[in-house]
Amino acid sequence: MQRVCFLLKVRADRLDEYRERHATVWPEMRAALSATGWHNYSLFLREDGLLVGYLETEDFRAARAGMEATGVNARWQAEMAPFFETLDGARPDEAMTPLTEVFHLA
């Protein structure tokens, strides 16, 4: 199982709304994530907007490609893009660059 951690930055003026949106993630989005291999997916948000994402998957590239093929992902990403800083034209899911794991205690 591959562990993936990534960072994004939520705009300071959108923190409350971002939290609200994630309190009620669309059921079809949740189902698509599960079906495409996103397990133990968590998001952590710091008060300055730093967003830390974590998930476990057999193959992150395949999991991303699986989501890319769903219509619900395109709709969700379009709605979420305005919440983030420095995407440089990329969708939030395209900006998820995994950090390098340097230690893991099993």
Catalytic residue among 12, 17, 19, 22: 22
DSSP-derived pairing of the beta strands 50-57 and 39-45: antiparallel
Please name which of 45, 105, 48 lies closest in space to residue 80, comparing C-alpha atoms: 45
22 is catalytic: yes
Q: How many CB atoms lie within 10 A of CB 76?
A: 22
Catalytic residues: 22
